[in-house]
Every structure is written in C-alpha cells, then in structure tokens.
Amino acid sequence: MLRINEIKVSKNFYLKDFECPCCNKVMLHPTLLENLEKLIASGLKIKITSGYRCEKHNKEVRGVPNSKHMKGMACDITCNDIEKAYEMAQKLGFSYVKIDKLKKYIHMEV
C-alpha cells in the first residue's frame, strides 16, 4: 500500500523528503520546491535534513517560535559542495539563506 507521503512531487523529491520526523505531517510551499529543484539542476547533490516541523518537533529542536519550517516555507540541507550551494541559493530568490559551516548545513526560506 502506497503511503501518501511516498508521492513524487517533483523530478527529485517526494513528500516524505519534507515530512516532520515525529508525526509525518507535511506542508510544502511550491516556491521552496521549485528553488530546490533549481539547486539540483545546477549539478548539486542535496539532502533535506529538516523540512516541515510541527509545533512539538520545532520546540524539541529549539526552533524559533514562528519558524518558517512550521509553515512549509523553510528547509535545511546538506550538500556535496556546501559553499557552491550557499552561493547558488542566494541567487535563486530565497528570502533568507544561512550557512552553518560548523554543522555543515544550509537553512533556506521562501
């Protein structure tokens, strides 16, 4: 039986790539998905490490109270070339991009 989150929502992503790890719920803004596809089209290999977060999970990871993760408008990724991904993300129309070189991930919002 196919779970709803196993539905492919774009060339490279399934809903499950964005689901909350504690409740499996998903919210996903179309612009976030489009911009992530553009990152991949530039030759980067990315992995979403944090997509949608329910309120409970957001508190558990100490996310900000009004986190865009809770609206499906943010994600964190790791990448084969984190510096290039950061530069590309800044050019793609994300409203906010932050790199954490120590933890090796990029936070992006639309």
pLDDT given at position 2? 62
pLDDT band per the 50, 70, 90 thresholds, residue 104: very high
pLDDT given at position 1? 59
Strand partners, 79: 46
Residue 43 — φ and ψ, nearest 5°? Answer: 100, 5
What is the rounded average pLDDT for all residues in the chain?
94
Q: What is the pTM of this model?
A: 0.92
pLDDT given at position 102? 87
pLDDT band per the 50, 70, 90 thresholds, residue 103: confident
